[in-house]
Amino acid sequence: MIDEIFEVKQYLKGVNVSKQNLYRTCYLLVKWYKELGSKKIEVRAALFEWGKKNNFYIKYNVNDIIDTVFERNSPNLKSPEIKINKNDVKNINKRFDNKNTKLVALAVLCYAKAFANEDGEFSLTSVGLSSWLNINRQSIRKKYIKELIEYEFVSEVSKPERIKNKNDWGKPYEEQSTRYKINMPLNNSGDFVLRNNEIGKLFSEVFAASPNDRL
């Protein structure tokens, strides 16, 4: 989710792919093949070959995904090093007690450090977050993100337009996401490092070191 290059390499092996998050998977795979210099028709063939090999039925309009990636000047796949510091931990602990809420907050903070603009705004889908954290999507959206907003960890800037048809995914991936603003400083420094998107491991390291630091 943060290290997109590692994420794509896992997808290419058929690892960590979920049906609920298949659009994002295809979107990132298209970006991967584009960056390798493949033409549109070659990307299409590679995507369907990947689906066949791993027994994934791609229900979306693949050409729309390919056209979206090729025609937009979107950033290349990223592999940033994300660090968590003591102030990050304090900001989470002073707002939340529930373990899953803290996990979601930590994940959102890592995502913001990787992808937020200079105003602290970033786009994120509950589907992608759910797949990464292995937490039910409805709980992510209706419980944990709601709590993050109510306790001013993040603010909701804008919601995506409602997609009328579940197969109508012609819009860019970012426009299907909710837009948030992180309400804390984004200082990418600290002793704790997110590696290979292992957010559960990072969570254990961070909160074992500072379990109740709320001051």
SS (H, E, C) 24-55: HHHHHHHHHHHHCCCCHHHHHHHHHHHHHHHC
Q: Which amino acid is at 84?
A: I
pLDDT at 20: 85
pLDDT at 18: 87
pLDDT at 162: 45
Where the chain has pLDDT below 70, the residues are 160-176, 209-215
Going along the chain from its start, the domains and CATH numbers come out as 4-71 (no CATH), 82-209 (1.10.10)
**pTM reported for the whole predicted model:** 0.87
Find all residues with CB under 8 Å of 96, minimum gap 6, and list them: 102, 105, 147, 151, 153
